[in-house]
Structures are given as structure tokens and as C-alpha cells.
Amino acid sequence: MRERYAYELIQKGMRIDERKFDEFRKIKIRTDVSNKAEGSAHVTLGETQVIAGVKLKTGEPYPDTPNEGTLIVNAEFTPLASPDFESGPPGEDAVELARVVDRGLRESHCLDLEKLCITPKEKVWTVFVDLHMINHQGNLLDASALAAITALHNSQVPKIEEDTIIRGEYVSKLPVVFTPVNVTVGKIEDKFILDPLIEEENILDSKLSVSVRDDDKICALQKMGEQGINFDDLEKMFDMAIKKSKELRKLVK
């Protein structure tokens, strides 16, 4: 019923919560919400809530990048966040979200991975970004990406003594170079909206996730939904994403 109502309003140029099509819900960001992580952030986007935690561990580098650290993103959808989520191994939606956030971070080169090398070809830092969905009321992807980059900005590199990581003692900040921001643009017929509510997400024809770097370069894309998107619409969606990314980036602490 609410989905039908949301659709009818959008056709009239309105939304359920009276926002403009290019307007995000109120965003709140808290950092250092976990004392068990090297860095963390809690993002509230309207009623949607996501927590990101960053943990560093040592390991071997990849053979093709022997002098660089590594980055791994995981996402957990628990029943606490939505009755549609089930406990157990990550489902398809969780895997897709983690991959999209990972790609935005990785392709933006937001971390100077060479500075995370401890011993070339032998030991490097692996940066784990764990995303936990606390409440799902739409647009988990943008909230998760925002939480991830904020947590990275607030992370530190632990001290090592005789191959042992000394948790709670740090030698430097994590080498964050860029601040990629993810903006997902939803398409309903000839209308485009940002930050969809869960009712709006369910009626989208398609949506395009756009990761934008500080210099306005688009570093990653993910198209979702069954309907295609023509080139003219792509240009409009890119413009909306780039413009909104500037606003969101200012919120990263």
C-alpha cells in the first residue's frame, strides 16, 4: 500500500517524507564507537543505521603487489536490521554490498597501500573493513560506504614488537589519501531520486551506484535493477551523484 502511494507521489513530483528528489535524509555520524577496533564509525541516515569497524592484521602480500598492503570489505545483514534478513552466512545482497563498497574504496586508491608494507614480499598490513547493518530503512549502500570511509579516516596503525601486534598502542594514522563517496541514483520511469526510502527502493526500475573521488572523478559504478538505462539518463545520474558527493564528503570527520 505504501509502495503504491510512494509511486503515485513520485509521479506528481513529491515523496512520502516531503523531501526533494535530490535531497538526502538527515545524516548523523559518530566516530570511535568501538574500543575493539583500530577505527570505527556509526552512520545514521534517516532511520537507516550502519556501523563500520576497521581491524588491521598482518599477512603475506599478493604476488603481483609484493610491496603493498591489502584491503578487504565484509558486510553482515542480521535479522536485527530487518525481518527480511536471515542469520547465517552472508547472502547475495550482503556480498553485493560489500563488493560495491570495496570497489569504490579500492578503485579510488583511497589508501596508500605501499605505506602498509612491513617487509617487502613477506609481510604487510591487511585492512579489514567490517560493515554491520543495524537498521534497514532504505539506502544501505550509501550509508555503508560513508561509514567505511569515515572509519578508515579515524583508524590508526598498531605498534608491532617482535612480530606481535600491540593492540591499543599506535604508531601512525592509517594512510588515507582520498575520500571516495558513494551516491546511488534511483530511476522510476523518467524520474530520478536520491537516498530512497525502503518503500521507494522496492518500486525502482533501476538504480546506479556511483563512487566519486575528491577530484570529482568517478572511480566505480554498479548498475542494479532489471530495467536498462540509456546514455542521456546516465549523464543526468552522473551529474546528480557528483554534485551530491561534494555535500556528503564535508560530513566525513
pLDDT at 81 over 80: no
In the chain, beta strands by DSSP E:
27-31, 39-45, 48-59, 70-77, 117-119, 123-135, 156-161, 164-173, 181-188, 191-194, 206-212, 218-224
What is the value of pTM for the model shown?
A: 0.94
At 150, list the grid cell.
Answer: 569515515
> Is the dihedral angle over the CA atoms 162, 167, 172, 178 positive or is it negative?
positive
Q: What is the pLDDT of residue 179?
A: 98
pLDDT at 84: 73
pLDDT tens digits, 142-155: 999 999 999 999 99
Domain 22-249: give its CATH superfamily: GHMP Kinase, N-terminal domain (3.30.230.70)
**Cell 512520502, located at residue:** 16
Per-residue confidence at 89, pLDDT binned at 50, 70, 90? Answer: low
Residue-level length of the chain: 253
